[in-house]
Structure 1
Amino acid sequence: MKKALIIGASGGIGRALTKHFEAQGVQVTGLSRSADGLDLRDEPSVARVLGALEGTFDTIIVATGALNIDGAEPEKQLAAIEASAMADQFAVNAIGPALCLKYASHLLPKTGRSVFAVLTARVGSIGDNRMGGWYSYRAAKAAANQIVHTAAIEIARKRKDAIVVALHPGTVATPFTAKYAGRHATVPPAEAASNIAAVLNALSPAQTGEFFDWAGEIVPW
């Protein structure tokens, strides 16, 4: 039986991914702060929760993230940048996924195809940025993309068949995006989960370290 680990399983996308994989007959282990005490801003909790897992997983997805943290809105201009709010963005959206890679990458099998995906965001693309603004969130997601790319290189040395990627899930209709979707088209979480699974299923080890969107298209760094 295939096994999947969903980190951030209590969120809109995480719940949808759990339901999708279970419907496909995959054995899913879901982790979250609310249910398991997995706090990405607290390294000991990440080490404890992920360190308690046994066996291997064919698929590991980090479906965590935050846009508005402690009431801090995305910045529209340089004057709105606050050091503490920017640090919070990096803690959740960059350092958090890095810790997941640190403590969960050994859960990938040493042989055979496996996938470790981190959900980031298209706004983390430097090449695709034509609107500006959202300094902290953009920078944190760009950092997460670099972390994923670098981890893919290291993981490939011991796990030749592993695929480690950053993935933009699209604008998903969840409380996370409700205030900021604006004119952007949104998709229901179930559709987003299906799209994500389809992209991951189509990837090969030769594509490890890349950044894809929900349709399987490469996103520029």
Structure 2
Amino acid sequence: MKRALIIGSSGGIGSAVTRHLQGRGWAVDGLSRRETGFDLTDDSVVDAQMSALGPGYDMILIASGALEIGGAAPEKTVRSIDAKALADQFALNAIGPALVLRHAARLLPKDRKSVVAALSARVGSIGDNRLGGWTSYRASKAALNQILRCTAIELARSHKQAVCVGLHPGTVSTPFTQKYSGQYPMVTPDAAARNLLAVIENLKPDQTGGFYDWAGKTVPW
């Protein structure tokens, strides 16, 4: 039986991915703030709960993150940058996943394909940024992309069949995006889960370290 670990399993995308995998006969373990007290911004909590897991996961998906934290909306201009809001974005969207990724090598098998992925965002692409704004969120996702790239390079040395990537799920209709529902085309969490799993299933080891959207197309760094 294949095994998956979903970080942020109680969220819109995380819970939908969990349902789809379980429907396919996977054994799924989930960690989330709501269900297990998994606080990505607390190093000791992340380390304790990750260390309690045994190896052999075919998939690890980090599906957590936030666009607004503590009521701080995305900035329209760099003049609006607030130090705490910027630090909060990095703590949850970049540092938190990095704390999880510290455990990836131990949890992934070496004798078969495995995938570790984190939900990034197209707005984290430096090459695709033509509008500016949203500086804190953009920067935190760009940092996440670099963390994933470094992890992919290291994993490839010991886990030849492992794939480590960033994934852009599109704009998904969840509480995370509710305030922006009229600005961008949206998909349901269920549709997003199907799309992401299709991309994950088709990834090859030589694609490790990449950044891909919900359709499997490469997103520029």
Class of the TM-score when normalised by the shorter of the 2 chains:
over 0.9
Q: How does 1:55-204 map to 2 (within 5 A)?
A: 55-204=55-204
**Secondary structure of the structure 1 residue equivalent to 2:178:** coil
Residue 220 of structure 1 is matched in structure 2 by: 220
Compute the TM-score of the two structures, normalised by the length of structure 1. 0.98
Residue 218 of structure 1, CA deviation: 0.1
Cα distance in 2, alignment partners of residues 171 and 34 from structure 1: 23
RMSD of aligned Cα (Å): 0.8
Cα distance in 2, alignment partners of residues 181 and 118 from structure 1: 23
Deviations 1:76-131 (A, max 9, x none): 01111001110000000000111110124410002210000010100000111111
**Secondary structure of the structure 2 residue equivalent to 1:116:** strand
Deviations 1:56-78 (A, max 9, x none): 10010000001110011100011
**Secondary structure of the structure 2 residue equivalent to 1:199:** helix
Residue 34 of structure 1, CA deviation: 1.6
Query: Which letter does structure 2 place at the counterpart of 1:51?
Result: S
**Secondary structure of the structure 2 residue equivalent to 1:21:** helix
Compute the TM-score of the two structures, normalised by the length of structure 2. 0.98
Residue 201 of structure 1, CA deviation: 0.2
Runs of 4+ in 1 over 4 A off after TM superposition: none
**Secondary structure of the structure 2 residue equivalent to 1:191:** helix
**Conserved? CA contact 1:124–1:140, under 8 Å:** yes
Cα distance in 2, alignment partners of residues 160 and 13 from structure 1: 28
**Conserved? CA contact 1:120–1:167, under 8 Å:** yes
Q: Does 1:53 align with 2:49?
A: no
Determine what percentage of the aligned residue pairs are the same residue: 58
Residue 14 of structure 1 is matched in structure 2 by: 14
**Conserved? CA contact 2:55–2:106, under 8 Å:** no
Cα distance in 2, alignment partners of residues 34 and 87 from structure 1: 22
Q: How many residues align?
A: 221
**Conserved? CA contact 1:50–1:104, under 8 Å:** no
Runs of 5+ in structure 1 lacking a partner? none
Query: Which letter does structure 2 place at the counterpart of 1:41?
Result: T
Residue 23 of structure 1 is matched in structure 2 by: 23
**Secondary structure of the structure 2 residue equivalent to 1:130:** coil
